[in-house]
Structure 1
Amino acid sequence: MNNRAGSFLWNLRQCSSLVLTSRAVRLYPVGFCRPKSVYSNWNPRNLLNNFDNRMQSYIRYRFQDALISKSGGNHFQTKGISTQTVLPVYTLLCPRRLSFDSKQSHVSDNGLKKNFHHEASNDYVLTKETKSTPVNYRKLSQECNSLSDVLDTFSKAPTFPSSNYFSAMWTIAKRMSVDQRRFEKQLMFNHPAFTQLCEQMMREAKVVHCDHLLFSLHAVVKLGIPQNTLLVQTLLRVVQERINECDEKCLSVLSTVLEAMEPCKNVDVLRAGLRIIVDQQIWKIEHVFTLQTVMKCIGKDAPIALKKKLEMKALRELDRFSLLNSQRMFGALATMNHRSVTLLNECSKVIIGNIHGCPFKILINILQSCKDLQYRNLDLFKGIADYVATTFDIWKLKQVLFLLILFENLGFRHSGLMDLFMKKVVDEPGFLNMKSTVSILHVYSSLNHLHECQPQEFLEVMASALTGYLHHISSENLLNAVCSFCLMNHFPLAPINQLLQKDIINELLISGDMERNVHKLHILTTCLKLDDVPYRKAIDLPLPLPPSTPLHPNAKVAEALRSLLGEGYFSENVQLPHNYHIDFEFKMDTNRSQVLPLSDVDVVTSASDIQRIAILCVPRSNYCLDSNHPRGFLAMKMRHLKVMGFHVILVNNWKMEKLEMKDAVAYLKSEIYSSEDPPASDVDFQSTC
């Protein structure tokens, strides 16, 4: 009886020392959830009666490679790899058991209870396949020079968590050139340990910390592992299950990953879950960088209410915005397709005040975002253009051309920068290739801009460059280039002759955007007939009729003309030859002092005694941004109407809408009876020389 009592008390002491040691040491194994409670109210009386239930109830640590060995007395210590007989206890204490090797044997609870007070058998000796000390990915990325080196290290002694190996490989890959990275990635895929690493990562996915899981997914995606592989899809599914564990750091990493992935079922579901989590935690986000990363990820189809919340949160954090935050906000808003004028205006002020030293890539992203958001800020555009013009010599011509293309998309014309670029092209024509030649012609013709001193020299340089690429230029690029020359009232012989060949015309009429091609071919034929061309050659093939110009009623202008001129003195919606349309037409004497009734025009004996007046009601988009400088097509139309004998009066629609009727009448009166013609420099390219 005494022996049985002594054995009972010995067992109690052994079990008590186990729990007390775990409570005092407070283990935090890497890769697992930290304990959320400190165990209390330990009652040894019920231990033997309900051992399994108490262990599941009180022991909530999830150990990985935490080994308990007997070291003398009644105390237990945690150690790493050792030649002593050891007992891996994670099989008991981790509800979600994790096997790193199929050869590793598992211990039953009954067996553990029977032998708990004895030394573990040799079946539980830890092999060299795992280490207790986790590898640090930063140290690993410094010690290894290639992706294969990391996999070699893993194959020798794999440790937990596997995310560190993927993170180390991505850190190393970022240091490589594009070609070297491509070669190293191929070696990585062919490495014998790569499959083992992927399998281990999938086994660990449900038990590692959430941030380790997301860093693994991030590294896997960035390393170029195909998205449809089992590894990537498994990680996506596990993240879906554990998304509620995400803190602010995890939200940032998850947003970055989703932004880089192609749409698929698991990605779409995860993005929807991210939106819900962000909607719940938005006011808890502390870092502006995290906020902007989330904004870039939620997508254009996110609920408008969520977009508004993100905008409000960003406005509340404006006083904490750094220069980089202000620059990134443009891309964030453009990615989620939310135009916040207030937010953009405030960020623009910060950018303008710190424009010097701004990298080229940042400038491009800002302008592209402005285009996507249809955000027009003249001060911002002028600040960027002034900065580039001031530091023109440090920029590559290709970079300046990219900026000019974006400025053209925004309708912004900066004379100083365009003049500098034009002069550089004339001085260094060798930089022109086929693509840049077509782009430059489009920019300068669209914005209706030529340098005041050397337009003819610039046009000849561009024509010579285009002629040099005629042997391999596509039909559509040739049409675009020739149409640009037509807008600029310049007609190079060789490109036009090649464009007017029957096979080229037929190709343009059956391929690509046929409607756009037909429109540009009609521009060419109109210019060949109306402009001062050194030769005239009509297109032999009949062209389809261009689409009819939609008629926009101008009721306010019509009412003002009736009040000013009276009925029967003007015509409305007049269709002219060459598919030209004018909103209003009336006739005056040559001194432009009297408007002639339409019924009396036939009485006039000579057409030279009549001045035909054309009124064009022009939208804001036909002008360069915030100016009265007409863009290319409007300038060409005014030029051709002048050839047909019209005096052109431009009426700005947006200005007329703001005027009271009496003011509108007064404005039209001043324009009709004015003896001044529109500035020639705003209409005709060639007249500026």
Structure 2
Amino acid sequence: MNNQAYSLLWNTKQLSTLVPRSRFLRIYPLRFCRPEIVHSKWNPRNHLLNGFGEGLQPSVRYHFQGALKSVDGCTQTKGVSWAAAFKLDRALCPRRLFSDSGHFLASDGASDHDLMKTNSHHASGEDVLSKKMRPTPVNHKKLVEECNSLSDVLDAFSKAPTFPSSNYFLAMWTIAKRISEDKRRFEIQLMFNHPAFSQLCEQMMRETKIMHYDHLLFSLNAIMKLGVPQNTLIVQTVLRVIQERINECDERCLSIMSTVLETLEPCANVNVLRTGLRILVDQQVWKIEHIFTLQTVMKCIGKDTPVALKKKLEMKALKELDRFSVLNSQHMFEVLAAMDHRSVVLLNECSKVVIDNIHGCPHKLLISILQSCRDLRYQNEHLFKSIADYVATTFEIWKLKQVIFFLMLFENLGFRPPSLMNKLMEKVVEDPVSLNLRNVVSILHVYSSLNHTQKDQNRQFLEAMANALTVHLHHISSENLLSVVYSFCVLNYFPLALINQLIKKNIINELLTSGNTEKNIHKLHVLNTCLKLDKSAHYKAVHIPLPQLPPPLSHPSDKVAEALSHLLEGEGCFSRNVQLPHNYHIDFEIRMDNKRTQVFSFSDVDATSGTNIQRVAVLCVPKSAYCLNSNHPRGLLAMKIRHLNTLGFYVILINTWELRKLRMEDAVAFVKTKIYSDEALPTTDATV
């Protein structure tokens, strides 16, 4: 018997032991070769993949006629029949393909003659023909060096397609990254029109079962970055196979998968994969060695992750805190914000590192830290002050829009950085021409909200802002015009040209009928009040007809009322929730002599008569009415104090969060000190 006949009989015997007796094979979700799906009447609009919760279905190996056909859903239910396939041993099914990408071991459409021809050349060892079936894999770095465009990579593929196809996608994405955006768009369009691109996608889908798992993830990332739509067959197929083989995921693959998931839009397959990732992370969190991988996973798992898993990741991060680099500490803010988990201990430790290494920190990173603090409702005055002082010290290297963006974030956080704001005031006074309309609107909003003024150049600053706006007066929108005039009014400044333009009948009607009408009405009422009460206003007789605002809700502090009752020996010497003109109200009113040494009963004295009576307004102020960790009142509170003074009141502010911590006898002493003290209202940055 010659060698060929012996080889044929030996391979036939091996195949007979591999082919199952039953018509259908058992499903092996995580093996390399599984039962094969043969499609009849393939409809691309059918669902492609099943849900993760229903169990992992057999892997998908198709004869695709169009790799970029759109898939509406993520499951395939029609036109599919099961056919027996070989359950090959790993030694007989290595992660390699023929150089001809259209054929597999036991591929669809292979004739008996082809199969026998393949097996007849399999000797006990690894002979010459089996070596030809396993060509040397193409290296994507070599492709990048040899090719200058995406089309060059596809040309190389069409000449001699080799395994794995993932390297072609990686090479194309690497080339696309290093060219300009306009050229990249043009190259990607040429890529889609290239005849070999569809063949590459088909080969990619056929190779998904035997490709290394990390190559599969890298391929998906490159495919998405190259602009292939997510609902196409190739993307959904790769997603499905990644689900099936998810148990092959190691720490490196966890990092890659987390990065890829951030680029994908929610859909059935993506949601299933994200769920699988959470399960893996929950099982492997204590085995993660690299901080970068830990942070990437934390950032990816999402805000709707169970709290128990968030806590576990937080404990892992705290355990590895000694190994954090400066960059790890800087990125931890963004990571926790993406996970929506406010870990004060972790944020405090990372803040110390950021403060110590603030110099040279990139603009985007500082912005990201402040945005994350806002999203997490994390207030750290030392961190904010360090960032503000750094920006003020290096003011010349920053663009104007960058400084304004910093100030807008500080305003959202309720933090007032005086040194930085003074620097910007000087810049505006020196060079008002550099301001555009958006700059002016943003600056005025920040300065009025934080109630920031500077005696030396406050007038010059406001005039410069008004002059910069006058240039844009005829093409400024009604809402922007109202916003800037409102900000000027809060700052007790009244530019004539802007007010004349605003109070025109057509603009008032537009504000009352379009946009955010409630907000517009409130701002117009503030304008009306300021024009009537502020001494520097020039429009005492002007009245803008507006709808009535509902009376403001008032919740006077019960503890303050009890303290006043103990202090003044009964409630006859004060009144609660006093409503005033111009929609103002005060929590408590007391009547005293001009020197504020004696309190009068309401039954004994008429507040409207007598020259020796001082009306005292007691306001219960929440912490949000002040700038962060200071007694500096914010814009609306400062304006209210100014108007109450005009109405004849002496204003006393009682911080409710301070009073809440005191026992009653201490609260009485605290209120007594406030009422009989001669100290002026705080307008500086005194620390609470």
> If the TM-score is normalised by the length of the shorter chain, which range does it land in?
0.7 to 0.9
Q: Deviations over 1:396-448 (max 9, x none)?
A: 12211111111111011111111111101111222211111100001111111
- For the pair 1:503 / 2:503, whether they are aligned, the reply is no
Partner of 2:195: 192
Distance 2:210 2:221 in 1: 17
- Please give the residue correspondences for 1:4-23 in structure 2 after superposition, counting only pairs within 5 Å: none
Q: Secondary structure at the match of 1:450?
A: coil
- The one of 348, 354, 374 aligned to 2:377: 374
- The one of 88, 94, 110 aligned to 1:62: 94
Distance 2:408 2:436 in 1: 16
Contact 1:500–1:539 (CA<8 Å) still a contact in 2? no
Contact 2:246–2:276 (CA<8 Å) still a contact in 1? yes
- The one of 351, 354, 358 aligned to 1:351: 354
**Equivalent position amino acid for 1:580 in 2:** Y
Partner of 2:317: 314
Partner of 2:386: 383
Partner of 1:42: none
Q: Deviations over 1:23-60 (max 9, x none)?
A: xxxxxxxxx9999xxxxxxxxxxxxxxxx999945844
Partner of 2:293: 290
- Please give the residue correspondences for 1:325-364 in structure 2 after superposition, counting only pairs within 5 Å: 325-364=328-367
- Please give the residue correspondences for 1:427-446 in structure 2 after superposition, counting only pairs within 5 Å: 427-446=430-449
Partner of 2:590: 586
Distance 1:202 1:9 in 2: 36
Q: Secondary structure at the match of 1:262?
A: coil
Judged with a 3 Å threshold, the aligned counterparts in structure 2 of structure 1 residues 255 and 484 are, in CA distance, closer, same or farther, namely: same
How much has 1:540 moved relative to structure 2? 6.1
Partner of 1:575: 579
Judged with a 3 Å threshold, the aligned counterparts in structure 2 of structure 1 residues 507 and 263 are, in CA distance, closer, same or farther, namely: farther
Q: Secondary structure at the match of 1:651?
A: strand
Partner of 2:177: 174
- Please give the residue correspondences for 1:17-96 in structure 2 after superposition, counting only pairs within 5 Å: 56=88, 59-62=91-94, 64-65=96-97, 91-92=104-105
Distance 1:636 1:366 in 2: 32
Distance 2:615 2:223 in 1: 71
How much has 1:167 moved relative to structure 2? 1.2
Distance 1:481 1:603 in 2: 38
Judged with a 3 Å threshold, the aligned counterparts in structure 2 of structure 1 residues 662 and 544 are, in CA distance, closer, same or farther, namely: same
- For the pair 1:635 / 2:648, whether they are aligned, the reply is no
Partner of 2:43: none
Distance 2:313 2:511 in 1: 47
Judged with a 3 Å threshold, the aligned counterparts in structure 2 of structure 1 residues 505 and 265 are, in CA distance, closer, same or farther, namely: farther
Judged with a 3 Å threshold, the aligned counterparts in structure 2 of structure 1 residues 188 and 539 are, in CA distance, closer, same or farther, namely: farther
How much has 1:140 moved relative to structure 2? 1.7
- For the pair 1:666 / 2:669, whether they are aligned, the reply is yes
Partner of 2:253: 250
How much has 1:106 moved relative to structure 2? 7.4
Judged with a 3 Å threshold, the aligned counterparts in structure 2 of structure 1 residues 598 and 117 are, in CA distance, closer, same or farther, namely: closer
How much has 1:206 moved relative to structure 2? 2.3
How much has 1:533 moved relative to structure 2? 3.9
How much has 1:335 moved relative to structure 2? 0.6
Q: Deviations over 1:130-187 (max 9, x none)?
A: 9822221122223322222222222222222111111112212222233232222222
Partner of 2:615: 612
Which has the higher Rg, Structure 1 or Structure 2? 1
- The one of 224, 238, 243 aligned to 1:240: 243
Partner of 2:459: 456
Partner of 2:269: 266
Q: Secondary structure at the match of 1:615?
A: strand
Distance 2:672 2:107 in 1: 88
How much has 1:236 moved relative to structure 2? 1.7
Contact 2:556–2:576 (CA<8 Å) still a contact in 1? no
Partner of 2:49: none
**Equivalent position amino acid for 2:156 in 1:** T
How much has 1:515 moved relative to structure 2? 1.6
Q: Deviations over 1:497-555 (max 9, x none)?
A: 22222222222222222221211111111111111244217676632222442222411
Partner of 2:205: 202
Judged with a 3 Å threshold, the aligned counterparts in structure 2 of structure 1 residues 345 and 161 are, in CA distance, closer, same or farther, namely: same
**Equivalent position amino acid for 2:354 in 1:** I
Q: Secondary structure at the match of 2:660?
A: helix
Q: Deviations over 1:350-395 (max 9, x none)?
A: 1111111100000000000000000000111111111111211211
Distance 2:448 2:500 in 1: 21
Q: Deviations over 1:556-615 (max 9, x none)?
A: 100000011122000011111111111110111111110110011229852x32111001
How much has 1:241 moved relative to structure 2? 1.7
Distance 1:191 1:53 in 2: 33
- Unaligned stretches of 5+ in structure 2? 15-29, 34-83
How much has 1:289 moved relative to structure 2? 0.6
Q: Deviations over 1:232-262 (max 9, x none)?
A: 2222222222222211111111111111222
Q: Report how many aligned residue pairs link the two structures.
A: 616
Judged with a 3 Å threshold, the aligned counterparts in structure 2 of structure 1 residues 603 and 147 are, in CA distance, closer, same or farther, namely: closer
Judged with a 3 Å threshold, the aligned counterparts in structure 2 of structure 1 residues 105 and 524 are, in CA distance, closer, same or farther, namely: farther
Contact 2:208–2:241 (CA<8 Å) still a contact in 1? yes
Distance 1:378 1:280 in 2: 38
- For the pair 1:154 / 2:157, whether they are aligned, the reply is yes
Judged with a 3 Å threshold, the aligned counterparts in structure 2 of structure 1 residues 659 and 145 are, in CA distance, closer, same or farther, namely: same
Percent identity of equivalent pairs = 63
Two-structure CA RMSD over aligned residues (Å): 3.2
Distance 1:63 1:603 in 2: 94
- Unaligned stretches of 5+ in structure 1? 19-31, 36-51, 67-79, 82-87, 119-123, 684-689
- The one of 599, 602, 606 aligned to 2:606: 602
How much has 1:682 moved relative to structure 2? 8.2
Distance 2:607 2:221 in 1: 83
Worse overlay, 509-518 or 416-425:
509-518
Q: Secondary structure at the match of 2:498?
A: helix
**Equivalent position amino acid for 2:469 in 1:** L
Distance 2:287 2:121 in 1: 50
TM-score by length of structure 1 reads 0.83
Judged with a 3 Å threshold, the aligned counterparts in structure 2 of structure 1 residues 435 and 380 are, in CA distance, closer, same or farther, namely: same
Q: Secondary structure at the match of 1:602?
A: coil
Worse overlay, 370-379 or 473-482:
473-482
Q: Secondary structure at the match of 2:415?
A: coil
Q: Secondary structure at the match of 1:667?
A: helix
Judged with a 3 Å threshold, the aligned counterparts in structure 2 of structure 1 residues 58 and 242 are, in CA distance, closer, same or farther, namely: closer
- The one of 478, 487, 503 aligned to 1:475: 478
How much has 1:13 moved relative to structure 2? 12
Contact 2:95–2:212 (CA<8 Å) still a contact in 1? no
TM-score by length of structure 2 reads 0.83
- For the pair 1:139 / 2:136, whether they are aligned, the reply is no
How much has 1:285 moved relative to structure 2? 0.9
Distance 1:182 1:635 in 2: 53
Q: Deviations over 1:645-680 (max 9, x none)?
A: 111101001100111111111111111112232146
Distance 2:599 2:403 in 1: 50
- For the pair 1:414 / 2:417, whether they are aligned, the reply is yes
Contact 2:630–2:685 (CA<8 Å) still a contact in 1? no
Judged with a 3 Å threshold, the aligned counterparts in structure 2 of structure 1 residues 641 and 225 are, in CA distance, closer, same or farther, namely: same
**Equivalent position amino acid for 1:490 in 2:** Y
Select the structure with the greater relative contact order (CA < 8 A; seq sep ≥ 6). 2
Distance 1:670 1:195 in 2: 82
Partner of 1:164: 167
Q: Secondary structure at the match of 2:382?
A: helix
Distance 1:154 1:12 in 2: 34
Q: Deviations over 1:170-214 (max 9, x none)?
A: 212222233232222222222222222222222222221111111
Runs of 4+ in 1 over 4 A off after TM superposition: 6-15, 32-35, 52-58, 88-92, 104-118, 124-127, 537-541, 679-683
